[in-house]
Homo-oligomer: A and B are copies of this chain.
Amino acid sequence: MTIRKAKSKEEVIHALHTVAAEMHDKMMKGKPPAMTLPVRTKTNITFDKKLQVYKYGKNVSTRDATSLGSARVLLRSLHITEFIEQMINSGKSSTLREMYYISEGWGNGKFGTQNESNNLAEDLEIVTKCIREDFKLRPEEDGARIIGNVTFEEKNRKGEWMRINCRDDVGDSGYGVPYNVEAEKLKLVDQDIDFVMAVETGGMFDRLVENGFDEEARCALIHLKGQPARSTRRIMKRMSDEWNKPILVFADCDPWSFRIFASIAYGAIKTAHISEYLATSDATYLGITADDILAYDLPSDDLTKSDLGALQSELSDPRFATGWWKEQINLMQEIGKKAEQQSLAKYGLDFVTDTYLPEKLGALGLNY
């Protein structure tokens, strides 16, 4: 279990200063300043047996100031360090987009694209062993919505802890997960559930809520909103660790939804350096499976060329290197079809909660 102890302001600032100090020391010795980073591509991901998640392998690349491009990266790192320190001291946070615009004032350190600034923020996470939330940087996307009998305490803007039960204290839209769900901001205080079900689409989330599935099946429902935000993956990980509840993923049957599952269970390539905080290795893919398309005769669409390409690339993705996934992917390639969660509505609005989910959960030994 990996309950992450939040880093103090001082620890984060110290970690950033270390990066600057290393550059300074090298220069004082007459050497070009440098930063060493793991290579962040699919070929450099390995399975960490102890942590049960994918992590970066041993390949590293060194950025030193002997080329203009690398020198610029180091300059930008120093500007970011200063910016983050200012935010920490003034109690602010910033979107990654805002940081990109703020670099307008950094002269030669100005970013050309937001992709560059996002990547550098991730690089700094690796070098400092901090996380983006420590840096007070946040993404644009919204976090998940949660409905069910679970209670959180969230520290609000005024520094007060607010107690929110995700069944009794929220409207139909549910509890909106904030961007920072570390212990300094969010506490998991109470629950009366048997499992957590993460749901890909808003339409299906609302269906399960309307049908009272959270109460009937004693579960917390999480709306993933497509590819889940870091905060969404992190809160599932915490619910798994701190409450010891199974995490089930209910998604469309298409290659992109499989990637959503993989990022929840094994981590994503871009965040493999913090997989142990984000990835819930015992998450289970519940459906829709390729088997389900056949077994339930679901309305389906033909796989597009881009779908087929994605499936093929998943066959060489270490996160899908299990017998079960290979079977599912091969079956999809064979039938050439994909299907949405909401296609279960073919059999009426209650079919998903009266028939499909009880059958699928029963097969996992989760009867209700």
Contact = CB atoms under 8 A, between A and B. Distances in A.
Interface in A274-298: none
A206 B207 CA distance: 29
Contact of A178 (B97, B173, B345): B173
A84 B171 CA distance: 24
A309 interface: no
Contact of A138 (B156, B206, B225, B340): B206
A101 B346 contact: yes
Interface in A198-230: 201-203, 206-207, 209-210, 212, 225
Interface stretch (A7-15, A22-30, A53-61, A87-95): A87-95
> How many copies of this chain does the complex contain?
2
A176 B225 CA distance: 14
A172 interface: yes
Contacts of A340: 97, 101
A212 B91 CA distance: 12
Interface string A309-353: 000000000000000000000000000000010111110110000
A94 B345 contact: yes
Interface string A121-159: 000000000000000001011110100000000101100
A115 to B, nearest CB: 15
Nearest to A162: B171
Contacts of A349: 87, 92, 94, 98, 102
B97 A342 contact: yes
A159 to B, nearest CB: 12
A173 B176 contact: yes
A175 interface: yes
Contacts of A145: 142, 176
Contacts of A154: 171-172
A173 B169 CA distance: 14
A178 to B, nearest CB: 4
A90 to B, nearest CB: 9
Contact of A97 (B98, B203, B348): B203
19 contacts: A93-B210, A95-B206, A95-B207, A95-B342, A98-B342, A101-B340, A101-B342, A138-B206, A140-B203, A142-B145, A142-B173, A156-B171, A157-B172, A169-B169, A170-B176, A171-B175, A171-B178, A173-B175, A173-B177
